[in-house]
Structure 1
Amino acid sequence: MTGRTGARVLADMLDGYGVTHLFHVPAILRRTMAELEQHHPHIQRVVTHGEKAAAYMADGYARVSGRPGVAAAQIIGALNLAAGLREPFLAGSPVLALTGGRSPATKFRHVYQEIDDLPGFDPVTKYNATIDDAGRFPDMLRHAFRVATTGRPGPVHLQIQGNEGQLDTALTDAGPLVEPRFAQVPPVRPGPLDADVEAVLQLLDNAERPVIVAGGGVRSSGAGAELVALAELLDIPVATSANGKDTIPGTHPLSVGVVGTYSRECANEIVGRADLVCFIGTQTGSMTTHFWAVPPIGTPAVQIDLEPAELGRNYPLRASIVADARAALRRMLALAGTSARASWRDECDRLESAWRERYREVLTSDAVPIRPERIAAELTAGLPGDAVLVVDTGHAGMWMAQFHDITAPGQDYLRAAGHLGWAFSAGIGAKCAAPDRPVVVFTGDAGFYYHLAEVETAARRGINLVTIVNNNAGGNQSKRGFDRAYGGQATEKSREMWNYRDVDFARIGEEMGALGIRVDRPGDLAKALDQALSANRPVIVDVHTDIEVVAPPAVS
């Protein structure tokens, strides 16, 4: 034996893969934590107040940096961590989860806190495996990074023997071995076949009303510039999924907004009128297509995706390309001619202008309590060109998808794939990944409550993100659903199922070490945002809004 511990191997490999933060709930891999402190002190060990929050932080970190985020928990918290992996699994985000596991010497003897939780990771990971010998740390960790970053990215899980992963104290002859190309998404860029590219271009050229729907695959490929260039060359309007919102600025003349269920009305109208839809890097799931009504099944379609199994899954295709999004778009740019579609562009411009006129009053409203649309407009106007905006699901996702615009190619937009409460913890991880960029979270009070304790984490670690809470003392996205359940209008008593106490989150933030700013009047929003962005400390901006205002439903 060389005297090298599994902990030293693990610590050296995390460093070799460029990991800068490890989000965890003690106690897990104690010896590894000590090795990190001694040999790799730049890797920050961020202790959270919950395993699910740790997974969300790792997810936010991964989405901003493109590098796998790392989260860890001992065996008793493993399934809490697994619950947090649902989000990066649905979003296609590379996260490495490390947990403790059972020891063969004590299996089936009622060891304290022990349960076989390995099966719980199967539905939410691309790879789920155990490490039962210290000599396997190098090859298992390498494979985990490889799986997390290739194809459609996603979470992986390694269960390390011992309730706290004590296998890391064992000695091994194995040394660290790193494959640097798998430290970043995408590690490889499969190129397209020219015949496939030419077939797609021919269909686009022949279409009178084509539209592109760009998804999260365009984002993870870093293909936003190529997407915009192709749209300009072919004169094709671009709608995006919520995951792909930052692949084209919302202020670009060809951008028509987010399509689907959490969508901008004109985007659905335009995609619904298209005679050819080009899906790029999107799974064409229910949220992007409003349950396959936008566009209707049967609309002529082409699709570009890295995963062959996704081609034609939900829409029959006239042609398709299997390739990395950026590689495919670059080849399309090389082979395409120019096109002009003045009448189609005029029709799209009319629909978008009509939408903006229809909602101009609420976007600029001075009403008190504040309308959420006004918050979205202020974020469009006030966020710096390099800002990261992290958005919760539910009403928060609806308000931002419909009424906020990305204004610069350098802005990032991260949205929850479906888990309320994700955004605040993910924002902490995003700020860890991009400490020199402004990171702004938008959530409601219902979402903020989930992981409120992590305000202390941000304050303790000096993670200086800005969190804007749409505080209407309720989860009023439920209002419309309860009205339906009651046959038209819910009873007053039904409000007990979605109304909360009126809480001052600015004051709570101050008590936990953040700067708290309360906003009651819309005219104060811009000033509050400026103050928050320059505070150089965690900030909670508590915006008190109208509980009776609900987001417009999707059109189809």
Structure 2
Amino acid sequence: MRGADVLVEMLIGYGVEVIFGVPGDTNVPLYEALQVNEDKIRHVMARDERSAGYMADAYGRFTSKPGVFECPSGAGAMYSLPPVAESNSSSVPVILLTIDIPLPGEGRGVLTELDCARLFDPITKMSVQVKSPEKLPEIIRRAFRIACSGKPGAVHLQIPEDMLLAEIDPTRISTHVETECMQFPAYPTLPTQDKLETLLSLLTSSAKPLIVSGGGVNRSCTGPQVTELAERLNIPVCTTMTGQGTMPDDHRLAVGVIGDNGFHPHANWALEHADFVLFVGSRMGSVVTIGWTFPTITLNKRVAQIDIDPEIMANNYENVLSVPGDARLVLEQLIAMTPADRDSGKTTAWVDELNELRANFWTNAQVLLNSDAAPLRPERAVRCFNEALEAYGKPALIYSDAGTPTPHMTRFLKLSDRRTRIAIPRAFGGLGSALPATVGAWFADKNKRPIGMFGDGSFGMSVGELETLVRLQIPAVLLLFNNGTFGWIKGLHRLRGHNQCFGVDFMPPKGQAIAEAFGLMAWTARDAGELDTALAGAFAYKDGPCMIDIHVESIADRVPPVYSWLSKRGKDPLSVEAEEVRYF
């Protein structure tokens, strides 16, 4: 067997159905082995290594399996850095295979020579170079074990081309796989029984308890368990931005999103006034706590954390209890320990108070959601999307770029179908991910419509992947929010008092024309009526990808729902009154 055959056989053994990548000089042996096995494993060619990484990231976010992508040596490896860093910091299991120059060429000035193992070491759970073809099976097993166990993350393997060309004696290796590591979480753990009993006592003895569901809940598909525990104990639930969609937004215990970006004022109010808060799968980082300044009433001594990673426990606050373990297993144990007919009247007044605040917020928000102002307001665009998604009536996988769509989508998006999921890459906030991510989302689950949301700044960074979507005939719905500026950065300029902003504006793309040039079905929407028509057409379209070029007001024109920005403008971020806040 050649090394390339061993590698592909191992990937197939681990249940890898698709591998994303870009061809290059060094990975030809890998492609030869993939071609022989194309009935068992599919290769998806991306137009850029960064895009291939975001495809793998989306696949890992929307499945219980690691996303796998590959790249050639040199620039291919460097282009792969952003998605690998994002996946690792977002706890998404991803494995990158860098097919590198042959080992004998090291240190001799070979074109594209680069110490990739060192390059990726700071941004992965493991980055290692394969130096012996017989070591390939062992290292591949280690890669899946590390990517999927503990806190999931990214693994990088630097595989010299000669390792793939080498002949390997099958009697000297074992290509067995560890079935526990085919999916994540591998080897999930539970805390001791006394920890569970203490946590349940804290939850049941509180008059104003609150559960905060983080990105780890969505990553482990533990929303149903959060919902069941909340229902049994009658405890309201807030989410972080990455935990959005934990439970249906119309649930009586679903309060809203906490934190800085796209927050719900009543949700932040709940965090400040709760007497006990249980964070599940959240690092309690800077966005959630608004730079560790919120709540103004400190969280010390009234917080418990459930997390698979003990390293983050009590990292930012003095926890009353830290519960290391897999979120799903811990919650299932708590549910089993709680009688289904338990009297939950103790928290009724608290839940009613929060629901009244929530109702007031949505009542006041109608003036923004119904606005016919020109240019099209982001709030009205979200309302149009909510109604179109509801009318579509089928589940979707939504991937939003970290930029323009985030604050308004996070605040006003309503998801009533538990099967629909949304992901926003928030670790580094890099742009250009959502368009290629729809490819990964489609291969993750072909029973759900992939939807990508991005601003025109992001669009310019990954526009070439429109060809990939058309080539593969992926029925993605792409929403381009078009206003000719890096809106978030321009808003920051204006927040600092600079009305004449520098280096943030560009020519608005002719989105519909560009999409049609690549062969997509496309529409342009400049007002709510046109957007309603376009969305109805997009969700009805079944012959491949489509895109709507939405001409929308920039978040640099009005202050978006960002807690710290509203504070700087002298406004009360916790007010449920709908108010248009200008920079000047």
- Give the TM-score band, short-chain normalised: over 0.9
- In structure 2, which of residues 437, 441, 450 is the aligned counterpart of residue 426 of structure 1? 437
Query: Do structure 1's residue 354 and structure 2's residue 360 form an aligned pair?
Result: yes
Structure 1 counterpart of 2:280:
280
Query: Do structure 1's residue 46 and structure 2's residue 44 form an aligned pair?
Result: yes
Could you tell which deviates more after superposition, 73-82 or 364-373?
Answer: 364-373
Match for 1:19: what amino acid?
V
Query: Do structure 1's residue 5 and structure 2's residue 11 form an aligned pair?
Result: no
Structure 2 counterpart of 1:213:
212
TM-score (norm 2): 0.90
Structure 1 Cα separation of the partners of residues 445 and 559 of structure 2: 33
Contact 1:217–1:280 (8 Å) recurs in 2: yes
- In structure 2, which of residues 507, 516, 534 is the aligned counterpart of residue 510 of structure 1? 516
Q: Say which SS state the counterpart of residue 469 (structure 1) adopts.
A: strand
Structure 1 Cα separation of the partners of residues 531 and 191 of structure 2: 47
Q: Say which SS state the counterpart of residue 424 (structure 1) adopts.
A: helix
Structure 2 counterpart of 1:466:
477
Deviation at 1:306, TM superposition (A): 1.4
Structure 2 counterpart of 1:231:
230
Structure 2 Cα separation of the partners of residues 422 and 269 of structure 1: 32
Contact 1:210–1:277 (8 Å) recurs in 2: yes
Query: Do structure 1's residue 539 and structure 2's residue 539 form an aligned pair?
Result: no
Structure 1 Cα separation of the partners of residues 324 and 404 of structure 2: 35
Judging changes above 3 Å, is the alpha-carbon distance between structure 1 residues 524 and 299 closer, same or farther for their aligned structure 2 residues?
A: farther
Q: Say which SS state the counterpart of residue 292 (structure 1) adopts.
A: coil
Deviation at 1:191, TM superposition (A): 2.3
- In structure 1, which of residues 432, 446, 456 is the aligned counterpart of residue 457 of structure 2? 446
Contact 1:64–1:433 (8 Å) recurs in 2: yes
Structure 2 counterpart of 1:314:
316
Alignment of 1:241-320 (within 5 A): 241-262=240-261, 263-295=263-295, 296-298=298-300, 300-320=302-322
What is the total number of aligned residue pairs between the two structures?
545
Deviation at 1:299, TM superposition (A): 5.4
Structure 2 Cα separation of the partners of residues 136 and 534 of structure 1: 51
Structure 1 counterpart of 2:579:
none
Could you tell which deviates more after superposition, 524-533 or 385-394?
Answer: 524-533
Structure 2 counterpart of 1:330:
332
Query: Do structure 1's residue 177 and structure 2's residue 188 form an aligned pair?
Result: no
Could you tell which deviates more after superposition, 229-238 or 525-534?
Answer: 525-534
Q: Deviations over 1:132-179 (max 9, x none)?
A: 211111111111011111111111000001xxx342111112352222
Q: Deviations over 1:178-198 (max 9, x none)?
A: 222211122233223221111
Contact 1:277–1:299 (8 Å) recurs in 2: no
Query: Do structure 1's residue 376 and structure 2's residue 382 form an aligned pair?
Result: yes
Deviation at 1:406, TM superposition (A): 1.6
Contact 1:519–1:544 (8 Å) recurs in 2: yes
Contact 1:92–1:152 (8 Å) recurs in 2: yes
Q: Deviations over 1:256-306 (max 9, x none)?
A: 111111222221121111111101111111122222233334251111111
Structure 2 Cα separation of the partners of residues 521 and 83 of structure 1: 35
Judging changes above 3 Å, is the alpha-carbon distance between structure 1 residues 549 and 522 closer, same or farther for their aligned structure 2 residues?
A: farther
Structure 2 counterpart of 1:85:
84
Could you tell which deviates more after superposition, 235-244 or 523-532?
Answer: 523-532
Query: What stretches of structure 2 of length at least 5 have no aligned partner?
Result: 564-572, 575-584
Q: Say which SS state the counterpart of residue 329 (structure 2) adopts.
A: helix
Match for 1:230: what amino acid?
L
Structure 2 Cα separation of the partners of residues 453 and 61 of structure 1: 20
Structure 1 counterpart of 2:420:
411
Match for 2:125: what amino acid?
K
Q: Deviations over 1:18-71 (max 9, x none)?
A: 212211111243222222222243422122221111111110111112211111
Structure 2 Cα separation of the partners of residues 294 and 229 of structure 1: 28
Match for 1:171: what amino acid?
E
Structure 1 Cα separation of the partners of residues 447 and 196 of structure 2: 39
Structure 2 Cα separation of the partners of residues 45 and 462 of structure 1: 15
Structure 2 Cα separation of the partners of residues 258 and 401 of structure 1: 7
What percent of counterpart residues are identical? 32
Query: Do structure 1's residue 33 and structure 2's residue 35 form an aligned pair?
Result: no
Structure 2 Cα separation of the partners of residues 168 and 194 of structure 1: 49
Structure 1 Cα separation of the partners of residues 332 and 83 of structure 2: 36
Structure 2 Cα separation of the partners of residues 265 and 448 of structure 1: 31
Q: Say which SS state the counterpart of residue 413 (structure 1) adopts.
A: strand
Structure 2 counterpart of 1:400:
409
Q: Say which SS state the counterpart of residue 440 (structure 1) adopts.
A: strand
- In structure 2, which of residues 21, 37, 41 is the aligned counterpart of residue 24 of structure 1? 21
Structure 2 counterpart of 1:527:
533
Contact 2:102–2:162 (8 Å) recurs in 1: no
Match for 1:281: what amino acid?
G
